[in-house]
Structure 1
Amino acid sequence: MALMQRLTAFLRSPRGQQLVDRGRRELAKPENQARLKQLATRLLSRRR
């Protein structure tokens, strides 16, 4: 449980918020969305 508390505290800190915002900006880019879709397709095809 201590790990979750530390993670939550970090994400609420200014540095954590910067990382969250950067992640959201990166995920909004079409090329990154395409990469994630390809990765998901590969992972799902391995399961079958």
Structure 2
Amino acid sequence: MAGLISKVGAFLKSPEGKRVTQQVQRAAKDPATRRKLTEAVSQFRGKGGRGGAPR
């Protein structure tokens, strides 16, 4: 497990990792992206969306 954590850390410090981090941060600030994510989480939890048995 420690090997995986160190690999992730090394990736985040690399130029590509920094670029991906910035891209994710920009997407997180976008209201449309946040709304889509909120809707997806609600559907996954069964609190909306289409059909499915209530919990």
TM-score norm. by structure 1 comes to 0.83
RMSD: 1.4
Give structure 1 regions of 4+ aligned residues with deviation exceeding 6 angstroms: none
Which amino acid in the other structure matches residue 37 of structure 2?
Answer: L
Inter-partner Cα distance in structure 1 for 2:38 and 2:16: 28
| Residue 26 of structure 1, CA deviation | 1.1
Measured after TM superposition, the shift of residue 3 of structure 1 is 1.3
Mark the runs of 5 or more structure 2 residues left unpaired by the alignment: 48-54
- Per the alignment, in what secondary structure is the counterpart of residue 46 of structure 2? helix
Q: Greater CA radius of gyration, 1 or 2? A: 2
One-letter amino acid of the structure 2 residue matched with residue 11 of structure 1? L
TM-score (norm 2): 0.75
Matches within 5 A, 1:11-30: 11-30=12-31
Percent pairwise identity: 23
Normalized per residue, which structure has more helix? 1
**Partner of residue 42, structure 1:** 43
